[in-house]
Amino acid sequence: MSELISVIVPCYNESRTIEIFYQEITKISSVMDKYDFEYIFVDDGSKDDTLDIVKNLSKEDSRVKYISFSRNFGKESGIYAGLEKSKGDYAVVMDADLQDPPSLLPEMMRCIDEEGYDSVATRRVTRKGEPPIRSFFARQFYKLMNKISKTEIVDGARDYRLMTRQFVNAILQIQEYNRFSKGIYGWVGFNTKWLEYENVERVRGETKWSFWKLLVYAVDGIIAFSTVPLTLSVFFGLMFCFIALVATVYIVFKTILYGDPVAGWPSMMCIILMLGGIQLFCIGILGEYLSKTYLESKNRPIYICKETNT
Ligand code: UDP
Ligand code: MG
């Protein structure tokens, strides 16, 4: 029996792209006739007829599997559910909008098969077609992240990745609720080969990521894979203690020598406001970590499945 590749496709309101995606991926599958395939579409609580389309496909093609969530849990949960239900010797995560070109799959498989890698990941080297502000912030995010986290997070990394069963099992062992896949992939280790490609624009439909959603995602990533912000607040605290000490000594001596009366309401207001700001900021950082700890400690499931044929 030939080896099985599980293709995992998180879908949220993708009714306009699924059929094109299905055509493309089946084309590639027929080229890779050495392997068997299963396509796992994870319907992440779509509000359009994504699920119906997938169900119809599954009637015609027994390789098509679906998992439908009870609501929108986010792409990360979709990836987890797909990996969990996958039976393949290999698993690959792919977007439904063809931004992760299925045509790379044979080359990815070759790297695992012949070069002995445990996973093959992809990164886009250009961000053509993306709003410049979005690209700018994305770049800064990766720079910052790599400075403050021990886990390697590659700039432009996609979730498009082919993994061996061993790699998949390692990912599944990470049960955390706040999932940041890009970090998790790096955290589990193993040998990963990076393939590069030029950005491809979405075939149809539109992106589900607003600027605001991306910003929240970035903050979540930092909180999940670095504790440097906490250390930073310790540093702020020490720095201001030191400044206060120096200022106290200065003022005491100045008063003894010159007997200056107290003055400077505006400067005092500035100092109070600034310190108040920094204190709130540091409490905020603390709160972010605390809220994540709170959510993790509830131990809620990563997703809730409403319907499936796996
Ligand atoms: N997606 C998902 N749940 C969500 C948002 C997105 O499963 O809450 C899926 C979406 O259907 C697509 C993939 O994640 O297959 C990437 O989404 P999108 O193309 O909108 O993101 P972008 O490529 O613009 O970063
Ligand atoms: Mg996309």
pLDDT digits (tens, 9 = 90+) for 150-185: 777 777 788 899 999 999 999 999 988 888 888 888
Predicted pLDDT of residue 44:
92
Number of the ligand 1 atom closest to the C-alpha atom of 73: 8
Predicted pLDDT of residue 259:
78
Predicted pLDDT of residue 123:
85
Predicted pLDDT of residue 252:
83
Tell me, using a 6 A CB cutoff, whether residue 209 lines ligand 1.
Answer: yes
The rounded percent of the chain whose pLDDT value lies above 70 is 98
Q: How confident is the model at residue 79 (pLDDT cuts 50, 70, 90)?
A: very high
- For ligand 1, atom 22, which residue shows the shortest CA distance? 207
Q: How confident is the model at residue 89 (pLDDT cuts 50, 70, 90)?
A: very high
Distance 246 CA to ligand 2 centre (A): 54
Tell me, using a 6 A CB cutoff, whether residue 82 lines ligand 1.
Answer: no
Q: How confident is the model at residue 41 (pLDDT cuts 50, 70, 90)?
A: very high
In the predicted structure, residue 90 carries a pLDDT above the cut 90: yes
Tell me, using a 6 A CB cutoff, whether residue 156 lines ligand 1.
Answer: no
pLDDT digits (tens, 9 = 90+) for 234-275: 888 888 888 888 888 888 888 888 877 667 777 788 788 888
pLDDT digits (tens, 9 = 90+) for 177-234: 888 888 888 888 888 888 888 777 777 777 777 888 888 888 888 888 888 888 888 8
Higher pLDDT pick, 66 / 262: 66
For the chain, the average pLDDT equals 86
Predicted pLDDT of residue 42:
95
pLDDT digits (tens, 9 = 90+) for 42-51: 999 899 898 9
CA distance 43 to 45: 6
Long-range contacts of 14-18 (CB under 8 A, 24+ apart): 14/46, 14/50, 14/96, 14/97, 14/205, 15/46, 15/48, 15/49, 15/50, 15/53, 16/204, 16/205, 17/96, 17/97, 17/98, 17/202, 17/203, 17/204, 17/205, 18/50, 18/53, 18/54, 18/57, 18/96
Least confident of 131-135, 173-177, 205-209, 295-299: 205-209
Predicted pLDDT of residue 178:
84
CA distance 90 to 104: 15
Give the Cβ contact number of residue 70 at 10 Å.
Answer: 11
Q: Name the residue of 46, 75, 80, 303 to mutate for ligand 1: max ligand atoms within 8 A of Cβ.
A: 75
Tell me, using a 6 A CB cutoff, whether residue 43 lines ligand 1.
Answer: no
- Looking at all shown ligands, the one closest to residue 45's CA atom is 1
Predicted pLDDT of residue 38:
93
- For ligand 1, atom 8, which residue shows the shortest CA distance? 74
